[in-house]
A and B are shown apart, each in its own frame.
Chain A
Amino acid sequence: MNWHDRLPDEDDPELKRALSNFKASVDAWSENAMLRPRTAMKPVRHAWRLAAGWALGCAVVATTVSGALYERQHRQELARLAAARTSAEKAAQQRAMSIETDQDLLANVDSDISRAVPAAMEPLAQMMDTDQAENDATKHGTK
C-alpha cells in the first residue's frame, strides 16, 4: 500500500497483516463470484395458473359490473318511487284545496240566494246576516 496520507494506526505490523489478509480474501471472493458460471433460468409458466388467473379476473370484473348495474337500477327505482310519492302528495293537496274552494263557493251562493228577499224583509235578513257572522266568528274562535 503506497498511500501518501497514512494514519498512525496503520503502521502496526499485526494490524497491517490482518488487513492485507482481509483484502486478499475479498479479492479472491470477488474474483470467484465474477467468474462463476451463470445459469439463466427460463421462467416456468403453468397453463392452469394462467387460466385460473384469467377466470378470477373475469369473475372480479363481472361481479363489479353487475354490482354497479344493480346499484344503478336500485337507485333509479328508489328515485322513481320518491317522485311518484311526491306527485301523489301534491295531487292530494290540490284536491283538498279544490274541495275547500268548492265549499266556499257553495256557501257564498247560499248566502246570496238567501239574501234575495223582498224589501220588506230586508231588516230581518240583515239581522240573520249578523247572527251568521257572529256564529262564524264563534266557530273559528273555538277551532
Chain B
Amino acid sequence: MRHTGSSTKSMAAGTPIQPITAGAAEEIPAQDFSSVVETHRPQIFRFLLASLRDVDLAETLTQECFLKAHRNWISFRGDSSPMTWLMRIAINLQKDHWRNRRLQFWRTTRANAVDLDEAGDWLPSGERTAEQQMLAREQVAQVWEVVGRLSERQRTVFLLRYVEERELSEIAQATGLSEGTVKAHLSRALGKVRAEMRGKP
C-alpha cells in the first residue's frame, strides 16, 4: 500500500519511470513508522502500564513492542489498523512476560500490594469538591482492586475496552478472540466491578 504510492505518481506524470534506489525505498516506510510510533506510543505504554502496574516494565515492553513492530513493518499489510496490530504485539509481549515469570507468589504479591497504591493515587483534580474527589478515589481503588483479581485475558479485554476505548471488533482482532467471547469476558468483569462497588467482592 505504501510502496505503490510513489510508483503510481511517477507513472501518472507521463515521464520515464525512474528506478527507486533501495535506500529511498526503505526511507518511505521508515518515515511512516516514525509517525506511527509518535501517534501510538502513549496508548501502548498506557495499556501496558495499566496491565502490569510497573512503570519500568511498561517502558521496557513498550520499547520491545516498537522494536518488534519495526522489524516486521515491511510485512505489515494493513489488514487491521496499525493500532490494533501494535496492540496485538503488546498483548503477546505481556503474555510472554507473565509466562516467563516462574515465581507465582512474587507475581501475585507484587500485583496486589505494591503498585496498587501507586496506581490509585492518580486522579485529575478538575473542578471537583474534596468530597467528590474522595468518592472518585474510592471508586478508582475499587476498580483497581477488581482489575487485580481478573484473569489475564479478562483484564486485557477490560482495559482495552474501558481505558483504550476500543470497539468490540478491534478487541477481538487484537486478542484473537471472537466478539462473543470478548462480550462474555467484559460482562463478567463488569459484574465483578459492580459487586465490588456494592460491597460484595
- Confirm or deny: A5 has a beta carbon within 8 angstroms of a beta carbon on chain B: yes
- Confirm or deny: B136 has a beta carbon within 8 angstroms of a beta carbon on chain A: yes
Q: How far is the CB of A132 from chain B (nearest CB, A)?
A: 93
- A window 22-38: CB within 8 A of B: 22-34, 36
**Dominant SS at the B interface?**
helix
Stretch at the interface among B11-19, B29-37, B94-102, B117-125: B117-125
Q: How far is the CB of B127 from chain A (nearest CB, A)?
A: 13
CB-CB under 8 A from B169, the residues of chain A are 5
Stretch at the interface among B69-77, B82-90, B105-113, B183-191: B183-191
Best-surrounded residue of B46, B58, B121, B191 (most CB of chain A within 10 A): B46
- A window 44-65: CB within 8 A of B: none
- Confirm or deny: A121 has a beta carbon within 8 angstroms of a beta carbon on chain B: no
- Say whether, besides A7-B186, A30-B49, A18 and B123 are in contact (CB < 8 Å): no
Q: Which of B49, B58, B193 contacts A18 (CB 8 A)?
A: B193
Q: Which of A3, A22, A32 contacts B163 (CB 8 A)?
A: A22
Instruction: Tell me if B46 and A12 are in contact (CB < 8 A).
Output: no
- Tally inter-chain residue pairs, CB-CB below 8 A: 87
Instruction: Tell me if B49 and A33 are in contact (CB < 8 A).
Output: yes
Q: Which of B45, B120, B194 contacts A34 (CB 8 A)?
A: B45
Stretch at the interface among B1-9, B20-28, B140-148: B140-148
CB-CB under 8 A from A27, the residues of chain B are 46, 124, 163
Instruction: Tell me if A5 and B136 are in contact (CB < 8 A).
Output: no
Instruction: Encode contact with B along A85-117: 1 for CB under 8 Å, 0 otherwise.
Output: 000000000000000000000000000000000
Q: Which of A10, A14, A24 contacts B197 (CB 8 A)?
A: A14
Instruction: Tell me if B55 and A21 are in contact (CB < 8 A).
Output: no
Q: How far is the CB of B27 from chain A (nearest CB, A)?
A: 28
Say which size band chain A's interface belongs to. Answer: 20 to 34
- Confirm or deny: A1 has a beta carbon within 8 angstroms of a beta carbon on chain B: yes
Cα-based distance from A72 to B140 in the complex (angstroms) = 72
Instruction: Tell me if B50 and A24 are in contact (CB < 8 A).
Output: no
Write 19 A-B pairs (CB below 8 A) sorted by A numbering: A3-B165, A5-B167, A9-B187, A9-B190, A14-B197, A18-B143, A18-B197, A21-B136, A21-B140, A23-B163, A23-B165, A25-B120, A26-B50, A27-B163, A28-B122, A31-B42, A33-B49, A33-B59, A34-B42
Q: Hey, which bits of chain A sit against chain B, CB under 8 A?
A: 1, 3-5, 7, 9-10, 12, 14-15, 17-19, 21-34, 36
Q: Hey, which bits of chain B sit against chain A, CB under 8 A?
A: 42, 45-46, 49-50, 55, 58-59, 118-124, 136, 139-140, 142-144, 162-163, 165, 167-169, 183, 186-187, 190-191, 193-194, 197
Given contact pairs A1-B165, A25-B123, enumerate 9 new A-B contacts (beta carbons under 8 Å): A9-B191, A15-B193, A21-B139, A23-B163, A25-B120, A26-B163, A27-B124, A33-B55, A34-B42
